[in-house]
């Protein structure tokens, strides 16, 4: 149990376009979902915390107008990278917490902006 999926696993887009990444908890209802980004050989950097039905809480330095988060249900959260630029190229990972507060991660989405 405790499976989190992400879609797509990999996306390549042109500069200036918007990209949507989906995060789903497949076999549990997630009280909270988190979005991280990870640069090569670096640890996870928390971008935002998302609760169903409420606005996401963004970490300092993360532009909320650029990284739009929608938490539509207890099993689905989406991250939209708006007007993507090459510096947004990264590995984006979501996680979801169960009621027992264990946090489970998705497989990640590799975004490449040309």
Partner 1 sequence: QKEVEQDPGPLSVPEGAIVSLNCTYSNSAFQYFMWYRQYSRKGPELLMYTYSSGNKEDGRFTAQVDKSSKYISLFIRDSQPSDSATYLCAMREQGGSEKLVFGKGTKLTVNP
- Residues forming contacts to partner 1 in the complex (CB under 8 A) are 4, 6, 31-32, 34, 41-44, 46, 49, 91, 93, 95, 97, 101-108, 110
| Residue placing its CB nearer to partner 1 in the complex, 16 or 27 | 27
CB of 84 to partner 1, least distance (A): 20
Q: Which of 85, 108, 90 is nearest to 34 (CA)?
A: 108
| Residue placing its CB nearer to partner 1 in the complex, 97 or 113 | 97
**CB neighbour list of residue 96: distance below 8 Å, 6 or more residues apart:** 4, 23, 25, 28, 30, 32, 33, 34, 77, 103, 104, 106
Q: Which two tokens stand for residue 43?
A: 């640890």
CB of 72 to partner 1, least distance (A): 20
| Residue placing its CB nearer to partner 1 in the complex, 62 or 82 | 62
**CB neighbour list of residue 16: distance below 8 Å, 6 or more residues apart:** 83, 84, 85
CB of 16 to partner 1, least distance (A): 26
């Amino acid at each position: 149990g405790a499976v989190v999926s992400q879609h797509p696993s990999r996306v390549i887009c042109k500069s200036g376009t918007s990209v949507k990444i989906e995060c789903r908890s497949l076999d549990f209802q997630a009280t909270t979902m988190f979005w991280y980004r990870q640069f090569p050989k670096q640890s996870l950097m928390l971008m935002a915390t998302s609760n169903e039905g409420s606005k996401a809480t963004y970490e300092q330095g993360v532009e909320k107008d650029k990284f739009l988060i929608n938490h539509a249900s207890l099993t689905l959260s989406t991250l939209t990278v708006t007007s993507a630029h090459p510096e947004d190229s990264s590995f984006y990972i979501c996680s979801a917490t169960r009621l027992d507060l264990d946090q489970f991660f998705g497989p990640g989405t590799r975004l490449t902006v040309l």
